[in-house]
Structure 1
Amino acid sequence: MLYNAYELQRTMLSGAAAWASVGAEILTNPKLPMGYFGFGPIMASALDVFAHATMSRGKPEFDIEEVNVGGKVHGVTESIVLHRPFGNLLRFDHAGLPADAPKLLVVAPMSGHYATLLRGTVARMLQTCEVYITDWADAKMVPADAGHFDLDDYIDYLIDFLHHIGPGAHVLAVCQPSVPAFAAAAVMGKHEDPCRPATLTMMGGPIDTREAPTSVNDVAMNQPLSWFENNVVATVPLTYPGAGRKVYPGFLQLAGFMAMNLGSHMMSHYGMFMHLVEGADENAAATKAFYDEYRSVCDMTADFYLQTVEHVFQRHSLPKGEFVHRGEVIDLAGIHDTALLAVEGEKDDISGLGQTKAALHLAHNLPDERKKYYMAEGAGHYGIFNGSKWRNRIAPVLEDWIRQHQRKPLKIVA
């Protein structure tokens, strides 16, 4: 009933949003005088904000068409290089990259948003790397006959993606995937997999949520797993390809994130309204662009969501040495030559300081010279992978780390 109720509300608001958009366009039509006098601009701006806040959104595009390297602009090629039911592997490259450019796999979060949330991450790293990214599917769009998807599958996908990219690749895990990426590196290292990553960078990841727990961690700890299964897991309606699949809906994740900083979001929309009234369209457009991405959400499978709550936030299985993959306990001693970089934001209110840094202590079989910690002063959770702090301060640290630990590609003999 939860999902059906949401769909009914969404349908009703979509109609209201369409009418509001039409009203805003009429009031701002330069041929009509009402847009210039009295309450015309105010009404038009209010309708515009309402339409933008309530309109339906689908999956955004990356739209990275070019990259500027050393003052020279190069066209960017985006392609799907590997297709899987629950996520594709995308590749971005351009003619300005040297033949020996590092290959970087960006592991996007499967936490309610699309991989396009990391558009700025990809665009910045394209300056020096051939970039791959995990483009996770919206679970409601995956047919039920495609099977299930859980933490074991997530780790398997990462290993398969690294096999496709080949030896010497680097991995950048943003937030939630730090845990499965860390586990995958351990599994591959233990088995001396030739495609194990040369470096693994974890940014704002919940490796050990016992360190500086945040409100997100508190929510996960204050309720038994059965509460999440009974209250936030829903069934995909018949109108979608994944009808009947159990999922954690993206709209619930978005509601939770919005509630965490409700005052800030309200002020952002008020600021958008004032910019529209004043005619500062560029400022209003920047706010709209952010919320276009922020409100574009997708569902994740119930299996993956519940296992993440249980093992990452409640039982702390990985730091305790109790995390199991395909029946085998993951031994973090397997990470012996994959260089680790842990990046945290000083003002991160989702993954507290110390949660990602814990990975450096847990990889006890890795020499200290292959470990690095960087704390981004003044950066919040999203600031560590998007925006000026990411582009100008954090990305250069990552590029330098990759440069220091670049491996010569090896050919795999079949």
Structure 2
Amino acid sequence: EEEEEEEDALNPPPNPWEVLPPAQQEETSSIFHLPKTKGYPPPEEYALLEQFVANSVQSQHLKPSNGEEEKRYEEAARGYHALLDLIRLRDDAMALRNTLLAMRTSCFASSTTAGGGESVLHTIACRGDRRVHARLIHYILRMNPFKPHTKELKKLHDAFIINTVATKKSLKKKTPSKSKIQERKLMYQNIILPYIDSSLPDAYLHLLVAFTSANPVFLTGVIKQLWTLLQDRTFGGGRGEWKDLVEYNYNDGEQKEEGEEKKEDRMHVLDMQRAQRIHATLATILRLCPRGNTEIFSILASGFPFKLTSLDDQVWYAKQCLSVLRYVPTIQGAVLGLLLDKALEIDVEIKVEEGGGVAIEIDDEEDEEDEMAGLFELEMGDDKKAKKENSVVEDVKVDDMADKVRENKHAFHCLNFFA
């Protein structure tokens, strides 16, 4: 023990309040690197898509002068509304991915009377009155590229039912038909592949970076959107349970059996992959727009989970706040103070009574609600049962909040990970 104390004295723990040196900042920036976009369609098809996006956006800035131009204008205007519906509904993953890619790369033809040679992205973000594309920008900044839309999930479910019947028939044979296997692969691929290979999230995240780079006025909105996506952990970050259906199809009906621990590990990996991409996007944006370094803390503080939120969500949020310090070390003091304040808020809610028991202090409004609930249950003749249930719930809440305090303390012990 004495030798360990001497070693601790010679090698004190790193100071978490110290700003990272430039060399370590460069190393950290290389870790949070946004992957390149992928999944581009063939060049001929992609050129037509870029032209469609350019004409659709341009229709909001040009007014027809004769009958022929009016016809083209109406067609392009319908294309613009189709563009809005595609982003709002997210009912075609591959088309959505390709459209997001085209919005970032397409330009107007140089022969046009307005915006010749100008990029579509610059027109949407910077040119003239931005209210022209307010709905388009709103849909983009509220989109979740990691989670399939309900209609997409229904398509997957319907395809799964159809393929299950075909799989059962093919399994009766010694060698299943290769054409049927390939057909089932394509059916799933068209529906869900942009989520499985992360090509849709990558296209979306690169578009957000381009928006912020084109016009810093979107900086706060983009950071808020990315931070919101980071907290949405449904479907394991966009894949989750329905990924089993895809694996079932690709293995020709032979679903791999795995225990609950294996599934939890896989979901954790998916969450971490999604978090890595979002943090890489945030780091890229903050390198392009350093002004965001002063705004990100207020977003972190305002989005902190309520003290009665589940333990997993509290721990996840604290870890993401600490991850931000890897590329924004200047807010270390503020973030550590925030985590400490939140831990104290949870700790003071646990009241130690004279007999040694513990209970959670409840506000006056909550007291009134409990009294009304108690009177109602008395009238129903179920007072004893209600008291017993309330006691059990209270014990569970106390244990849960105590766990949160312990986890927050553990987070402070792990600060040497990023310092």
Structure number with higher helix proportion: 2
Q: TM-score, normalised by structure 2?
A: 0.21
Higher-Rg member (1/2): 2
Structure number with higher strand proportion: 1
Q: TM-score, normalised by structure 1?
A: 0.21
